[in-house]
Structure 1
Amino acid sequence: MLLWQKMMIGLARSESVTRRMQNSRYMARFARRFVGGRDGAEGLERAKTLREQNLSASLFYLGEYVADPQEIATTRRALSDAAKGLGASGLDVHLSVDPTQLGAMLSWETCRENVTALAREVADHAGNGRDVLMLDMEDSSVTEPTLDLYHFLRNEGLPAAVTVQAYLHRTPGDLARLVADGAMVRLVKGAFAESGKVAVTGRHDRDEAYRKAVVTLLSPKARERGVYPVFGTHDHRMVAFAEHVAATNGWRRDQWEVEMLLGVRSAYQRELAARGVAVRLYLPFGRDWWPYSIRRVGENPKNLGFVFRSMAGGGE
């Protein structure tokens, strides 16, 4: 799987491949499966539709590792407009953002200024829902500054949450601090091709690391501290494990949630929602859809079938 992920990451980062795919009318069908819309308006409409199905959304503007100040400004405006639209529609003002989208490639000071301004906008448009700016976690080179950024926002009294990757060796220590802080934490297994010095690499070891992190986030101490766990996984075994631990430790269904990607295991998402599990979908929008979408193929080779069917003109 590691080699497969590296291949897909290579395709995601290729400018020539990206241009070719994003200009292909055939591949647009592939994009619609994983992407909520070409702009914020379409993304907002998709979020409204999901809400009718008892599914919440976290909006994300497509783009990564951005070093162009103009593109950084575009990203900030797009997310600012999304916050306003979500608030006006009575939906959760729930945004996800990569630090490298908002200036980290230039300097972490620039990133902090942009992210802080965006978190203030989330607060300004917040209603009575789960309103928060969720910091996505990228590769291990930015783990420490991303966590520092989260703690800065929290110290400023802003609605911030952070993503933690279970497969990193450092994660148990990071979770201990986040639990003490009463944080909202999105837990993912980890999808970057990290070395064994930084992360566990075997599937069994990744699963075991995830289970241990679930136990930490659903511990009695975490509940007492006001932690809000978000389990980012499509693995039904991990969801079932989380349900079991939550019930055993006295967590209500409204005190934690499962987050999945738009277009991945849609029937299972609806099944969970129907039985009362809080489900949120990561809903990307924007024009640069290829790098994001091909990473979904990297995470699960079965998604490659969607590519071929799209190119052949077929549906899902």
Structure 2
Amino acid sequence: MLLWQKMMIGLARSGRVTAWMQGSPRMAGFARRFVGGEDVIGGLARAQELKTAGITASLFYLGEYVDDPAEIRATVDRLARCADGLGETGLDVHISVDPTQAGAMRSWDECRDNALALAKAVADNAGKGRNALMLDMEDASVTDPTLSLYHHLRDQGLPVAVTVQAYLHRTQDDLARLVESGAMVRLVKGAFAEPRSKAVTGRRERDDAYRKAIVTLLSPKARERGVYPVFGTHDHAMVSFARHVARENGWENDQWEVEMLLGVRPDYQRELVEQGVALRLYLPFGRDWFPYSIRRVGENPKNLGFVLRSAFNPAR
């Protein structure tokens, strides 16, 4: 799996491959399945559509590892407009951002200023829903500054949340501090090709690490401290385990949620909603869809089937 992930990450960072794929009419079906729209209006419309099905959304403007000042400004502007639009329509004001698309490639000071502006936009538009600026977590080289950014914004009383990757050796220590502070935490398994010195690499080890983190986030102490766990997974075994631990420790269904990606396992998503599980979808929008999509293939080779079906059946 490590070699496969490295290959997909290499494709995601290739400007030539990205331009070729995004210019291919045959791949339009693939983009439509996993991307909410090309612009803010399209993303908001898709979020409204999901709400009618009992599903909330976290909007994300496509792009990563951005060092162009104009593109950074465009990213912040589009996400701020999302916050405005979500507030106006009464939806959760919930947006996600990668630090490396908000200025971290240039300087963490710039990233902090942009994240502060976005967190304030969320706060200014917040309604009765679950409102947050969710900081996505990228490769291990930015784990410390991303967590520092989270704590900086949280100390100012802003509605901010952070993503934690279960497969890192450091995660239990990070979770201990987040639990103590009553954080909103999105837990993912981890999708970057980290070395063994920083993360577990075997599938069974990753699953064990994820279960251990579930227990921490759904502990009685976490509930008492006001933690809001978000389990980012499509693995039904992990969702079932989380539901079991939640019941055992007295958590109500509205005190935690599952987050999945738009377009992945839609039948299972509907099943969870019917069972009363709070479900949020990570809803990307924008034209730069290929790097994001190929990372999904890197996380699970089974997703390659979506690419091939789209290439040979573009009308689907």
User: TM class by shorter-chain length?
Assistant: over 0.9
Please, which moves more after superposition, 296-305 or 185-194?
296-305
How does 1:268-287 map onto structure 2 within 5 Å? 268-287=268-287
TM-score (norm 1): 0.99
Deviations 1:271-305 (A, max 9, x none): 00111000000000001000001111111111111
- How far has the Cα of 1:20 moved from its partner? 0.6
* C-alpha distance in structure 1 between counterparts of 2:298 and 2:202, whole Å: 16
Identity %: 72
Misfit runs of 4+, over 3 Å: none
The match for 1:221 is 221
Q: Please name the residue that 1:132 is paired with.
A: 132
Q: Would you say 1:290 and 2:290 are equivalent positions?
A: yes
Structure 1 contact 26–310 (Cα < 8 Å) conserved: yes
- Is residue 26–residue 314 contact of structure 2 (8 Å, CA) maintained in 1? no
- Consecutive unaligned residues in structure 2, runs of 5 or more: none
Residues in 2 aligned to 1:125 and 1:48: alpha-carbon distance in whole angstroms: 16
Letter in 2 for 1:302: K
Q: 1:41-82 CA deviation, whole Å, 9 max, x = no partner?
A: 001110011111101100000000111111000000000110
Distance 1:312 1:230 in 2: 36
Distance in 1 separating the partners of 2:65 and 2:312: 32
Deviation, structure 1 residue 313: 2.3
Cα contact 1:43–1:285 (8 A) shared by 2: yes
- 3-state DSSP class of the match of 2:25? coil
Q: Which residue of 2 aligns with 1:100?
A: 100
Distance 2:309 2:206 in 1: 31
Q: Deviations over 1:199-258 (max 9, x none)?
A: 000101000000000000000000000000000000000000000000000000000000
Distance 2:164 2:315 in 1: 34
Separation in 2, partners of 1:153, 1:88: 24
1:166 corresponds to? 166
Checking the alignment, whether the CA contact within 8 Å between 1:309 and 1:315 is kept in structure 2 is no
Once residues 219 and 18 of structure 2 are traced to their aligned partners in structure 1, the CA distance between those partners, rounded to angstroms, is 43
Cα deviation digits, residues 167-222 of structure 1 (max 9, x gap): 00000000000000000000000000000000000101000000000000000000
Aligned: 1:266 with 2:266: yes
2:177 equivalent in structure 1: 177
Rounded to whole Å, the distance in 1 between the matches of 2:181 and 2:69 is 33
Any residues of structure 2 matched to 1:1-316 within 5 Å, and which? 1-314=1-314
How many Å separate the matches in 2 of 1:306 and 1:203? Answer: 22
How many residues are treated as equivalent by the alignment? 316
Instruction: State the Cα deviation string for residues 17-54 of structure 1 (Å, max 9, x = none).
Output: 00011111111111111111100100111001111110
Amino acid corresponding to residue 162 of structure 1 in structure 2: V
Q: Using the alignment, how far apart are the partners of 2:143 and 2:62 within structure 1? A: 20
1:315 deviates by 5.5
SS in 2 for 1:26: helix
Query: Are the counterparts in 2 of residues 59 and 285 from structure 1 also a CA contact under 8 Å?
Result: yes
Q: Which SS does the other structure have where 2:133 is aligned?
A: strand
Tell me if the contact between 1:150 and 1:162 (Cα under 8 Å) persists in the aligned partners: yes
Contact 2:28 2:314 in 1 (8 A): no
One-letter code aligned to 2:292: Y
Look up the equivalent residue of 1:200 and give its one-letter code. V
Whether the 8 Å CA contact 1:166–1:189 is kept in 2: the answer is yes
Gaps spanning 5+ residues in structure 1: where? none
Cα distance in structure 1, aligned partners of 2:117 and 2:308: 41
CA displacement, residues 80-109 of structure 1 (integer Å, 9 cap, x when unaligned) = 110011000110000000000111001100
Specify whether residues 238 and 141 from structure 1 end up closer, same or farther in structure 2 by C-alpha distance, changes over 3 A only. Answer: same
